Amino acid sequence: MARAMFEYTKTVLRKVSFSVELFTRELEKAITRLLPYEIDELRLWLINYTKQKPELVACLVIIDS
C-alpha cells in the first residue's frame, strides 16, 4: 500500500508540473503522507525530474527542510 502512495505522488506531481504553485502545494502534501524512506526516494526523483523543468528547482528547498 505504501508503495502505491509513492507512485501516486509521482503521478500527481507530473500532472501538476505545469504550475509551480500547484507543484509546491502537492509536494507539501506528499511530504506529510509519505514514509521517511519514501521521502528520500522522492528527493532523488525530484532532482532528476527538475533537470527537465528548471522552473521547479526552487521546490527542492521544500523537501530539504
Confidence of residue 3 (pLDDT cuts 50, 70, 90): confident
How far is the C-alpha of 13 from the C-alpha of 59, rounded, in Å? 11
Give the pLDDT score at 42.
95
- Print the domain residue range for 33: 2-64
Contacts of 42 (CB under 8 A, 6+ apart): 6, 9, 10, 30, 34, 63
Query: What are the tens digits of pLDDT across the range 9-43?
Result: 999 999 999 999 999 999 999 999 999 999 999 99
Contacts of 35 (CB under 8 A, 6+ apart): 2
Count of structural domains, the chain: 1
Written as one string, the DSSP assignment of 18-59 is T-HHHHHHHHHHHHHHS-HHHHHHHHHHHHHHHTT-GGGGGG
pTM: predicted TM-score of the whole model, two decimal places: 0.89
Confidence of residue 2 (pLDDT cuts 50, 70, 90): low
Task: Please say if the pLDDT value at position 65 is more than 80.
Answer: no
